[in-house]
Amino acid sequence: MNQPKVNQPQSIDSSRLLGGFGVIFLFLLLGQGVSRFFRLPVSGSVIGMVLLALALGSGILPLTLVEDASKLLLQHLSLFFVPAGVGLLAYGALLKGNWIPIALAIVGGTMVTLLGTAGIHLLLLRNGRLTDHTEEG
């Protein structure tokens, strides 16, 4: 008789996990250094993330080095939103007095993101770098 498979926690190699966190942390530090050295108005963590993505995308850094650590971080991603929620509660009065500009910024930022994504998608479709799968079937 076939029994349904139950999601069992996979064993995690602690040395690979620590190594992955170390690599991610090194890119964070590298981004912080670049941001401070060049006095850029961009957060060092964002620069570090871009550098990590470039290193992974170019093949300089194999994905296997950070894969376990990144999967663990993604499994617990909701925990990273707790400080933001606490901040909203702590600054409730300030938000209440400025809700119109905040709402406009959220809606405007969302529209810019959607339009920019759609524009890039159409550009890639026209240049033949992206295939349209909507007409299949």
From residue 54, how far is each of 16, 21, 27, 66, 72 by CA, in Å?
A: 21, 17, 11, 14, 21
Q: Name the pTM for this structure.
A: 0.62
E strands present in 1-128: none
Are residues 107 and 63 part of one domain? no
pLDDT by residue (tens digit) across 47-74? 999 999 999 999 999 999 999 999 999 9
Are residues 69 and 22 part of one domain? yes
Q: Which of 52, 76, 100 is the last residue of a domain?
A: 76
Kindly report the backbone phi and psi dihedral angles of residue 4, in degrees, each rounded to the nearest multiple of 5, phi listed first. Answer: -65, 145
Q: What's residue 129's pLDDT? A: 78
pLDDT by residue (tens digit) across 125-134? 898 877 766 6
Tell me how many domains the chain contains: 2
Are residues 72 and 24 part of one domain? yes
Provide mean pLDDT across the span 20-29.
Answer: 97
Are residues 71 and 21 part of one domain? yes
